[in-house]
Amino acid sequence: MRVRKLTLAAMALAAGLSLTACQSDDGGSDQGAAPSASSAASSSNGGSGSAGSDQQDGSDSAGKSPNGTGGTDGTGGSGGGTGEDAKAAKCSTDELEITAIDATVGGDAEGTVAVDLKNGGGRDCSLAGYAGVDLKTNSGTVSAERTGDPAPRIVLGDGETVTFGITYPINDSGGSGVRITGLVVTPPDETKSVTLDWPGGSSLPVTDGSGTPVRVGPLGSAGQGG
């Protein structure tokens, strides 16, 4: 009987150990499943990260839209460039019809000659500043001095005219004075000149040579050289 009891006790112990081993294996399986759940969570987070990247890309795209609008502004800037391209080129001497008339008014202390520059070039052109003016005389060339008045840029349409004035002292000395034989006009920023007949008084009074007695006004001036 004692041997049988020991045998039964041994069998019971073995069964207990077997049950414990099975429970340990089940626990291992549960623990092994936990990382799988964690991996699934990680995968889920990875999916969110991808969506975040898409949102970032979307933000970049949204960021590019204002730049696209800026491109439209740039087109407006291009319009400004077109305006610059449309600016009239400088008038050349060959495009201008230059004439001069006596514009002296009775009783004036000085004589005045008005010079017209007419655009005959078939296109708009621009002028700015002062024309060069020289009087040919029997004693040499007398160059006119600028009045110093403002000289704005002027755009002449085809057929339009701009005028400037030349003033000079009237010879009332009773002597022959310095005889004027011609008028030389050089448009602003040009080197080619035009020689005209002098329409004003026939002579200048003799001076002491301390300075030129002839003055020229800017383009657009009228009467009295300015």
Q: Following DSSP, what letter does each residue of 123-189 receive, concatenated?
A: S-EEEES--EEEEEETTEEEEPEE------EEEE-TT-EEEEEEEEE---SSS--EEEEEEEEE-TT
List, for residues 44-58, the tens digit of each pLDDT value. 444 433 333 333 344
Q: Is the pLDDT of residue 4 over 70?
A: no
CB 94 within 8 A of CB 118: no
List, for residues 17-31, the tens digit of each pLDDT value. 444 444 444 444 444
Which amino acid appears at position 129 of this protein?
G
If you average pLDDT over each of 8-17, 94-103, 215-224, which comes out highest?
94-103
| pLDDT recorded at residue 155 | 97
180: closest CA among 216, 219, 135? 135
What phi and psi values does residue 184 have, to the nearest 5 degrees?
A: -110, 120
List, for residues 209-226, the tens digit of each pLDDT value. 667 899 999 999 864 434
CB 212 within 8 A of CB 145: yes
Instruction: State the chain's mean pLDDT as an integer.
Output: 73
Fill in the DSSP letter of residue 192.
-
Confidence tier at 95 by pLDDT (50, 70, 90):
very high
88: closest CA among 182, 153, 137, 142? 153
Q: Is the pLDDT of residue 16 over 80?
A: no
CB 95 within 8 A of CB 191: no
Cut 0.75: pTM above it: no
Residue 143's DSSP bridge partners are 134
Which amino acid appears at position 196 of this protein?
L
Other C-beta atoms lying within 10 Å of the C-beta of residue 117: 26
List, for residues 123-171, the tens digit of each pLDDT value. 999 999 999 999 999 999 999 999 999 999 999 999 999 999 999 999 9
